[in-house]
């Protein structure tokens, strides 16, 4: 004749007085359910147990989704703050040359990019003394260069913001930094009626810094502010 071992009275009273301690312990509940299934035998289908397993799987997936949403929200907030700080710094200078130099200086540091270049289309060459003096951040290209660069020679409509990985970065854009640029953000600039377009290019050594699967809302906003600032300087 077999008998079940009797539970310790103190432990029994503790469980009765605080049942939530058992219910909130995931591992303990799984052990109790498994013991109950063994006691029922292999020939009995426990529909409640099956339903509990399915609910538990759904809860795990829901928790994973919840964590992913929170992480994405924090990342988006951090990105928003970063772009806002870069814009405020960009609007500080009262001289055009300082404005341009800051693009490859503090603005680039805030945005955590490794290279920044402003490309302006012009029918004139780049022999202007200002262009030569600011060659690290400013270059002049012939009309049509920007659309050709953004579409990679395929033509068609180009987007306002283009994010992509690069294997052989353009020396025309990045000069001596071209060898280690692996991703870039290209912002096409509209300076108003009667003016040729421009392009602000931000390059990164990290190949995952910019990619076509990423959102462009923040950079589109940055582009709009930069265009308006440039229009004032150009006027």
Task: Record the tokens describing residue 18, joined without a space.
Answer: 């605080």
Cβ atoms of 204 and 189 within 8 Å: the answer is no
**Domains annotated on the chain, with CATH:** 9-61 (no CATH), 72-234 (3.30.450.40)
User: Any residues with CB less than 8 A from the CB of 189 and at least 6 apart, and which?
Assistant: 197, 198, 199, 200, 223, 226, 227, 230
> What's the pLDDT at 23?
74
Question: Would you give the end-to-end CA distance of the chain in angstroms?
Answer: 102
Give me the residue label for tokens 């990342």: 75
Average pLDDT, the chain: 83
Strand order in the sheet with 115-121: 138-141, 115-121, 198-204, 183-189, 161-165
Q: Average pLDDT in the 164-176 region?
A: 89
Is pLDDT at 146 greater than 70 in this prediction?
yes
Q: Average pLDDT in the 53-80 region?
A: 76
DSSP 8-state class, residue 8: P
> What's the pLDDT at 5?
60
Q: What are phi and psi of 193, to 5 degrees?
A: -60, 140
Q: Give this prediction's pTM.
A: 0.67
Q: Average pLDDT in the 152-168 region?
A: 89
Task: Please state, in angstroms and rounded to a whole number, the distance separating the CA atoms of residues 225 and 230.
Answer: 9
């Amino acid at each position: 004749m077999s008998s079940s071992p009797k539970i310790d009275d103190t432990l029994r009273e503790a469980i009765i007085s605080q049942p939530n301690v058992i219910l909130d312990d995931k591992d303990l509940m799984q052990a109790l359910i498994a013991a109950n299934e063994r006691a029922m035998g292999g020939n009995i289908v426990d529909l409640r147990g099956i339903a509990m397993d399915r609910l538990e799987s759904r809860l795990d997936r829901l928790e994973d989704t919840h964590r992913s949403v929170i992480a994405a929200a924090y990342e988006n907030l951090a990105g928003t703050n970063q772009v806002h700080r870069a814009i405020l710094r960009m609007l500080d200078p009262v001289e055009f040359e300082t404005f341009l130099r800051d693009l490859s200086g503090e603005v680039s540091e805030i945005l955590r990019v490794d290279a920044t270049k402003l490309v302006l289309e012009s029918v004139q060459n780049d022999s202007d003394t200002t262009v030569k003096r600011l060659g690290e951040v400013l270059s002049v290209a012939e009309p049509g260069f920007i659309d050709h660069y953004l579409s990679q020679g395929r033509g068609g409509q180009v987007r306002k913001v283009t994010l992509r990985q690069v294997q052989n970065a353009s020396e025309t854009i990045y000069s001596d930094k071209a060898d280690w640029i692996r991703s870039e953000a290209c912002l096409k600039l509209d300076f108003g009626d009667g003016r040729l377009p421009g392009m602000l290019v931000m390059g990164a050594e990290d190949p995952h810094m910019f990619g076509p699967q990423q959102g462009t809302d923040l950079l589109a906003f940055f582009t709009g502010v930069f265009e308006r600032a440039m229009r004032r300087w150009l006027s």
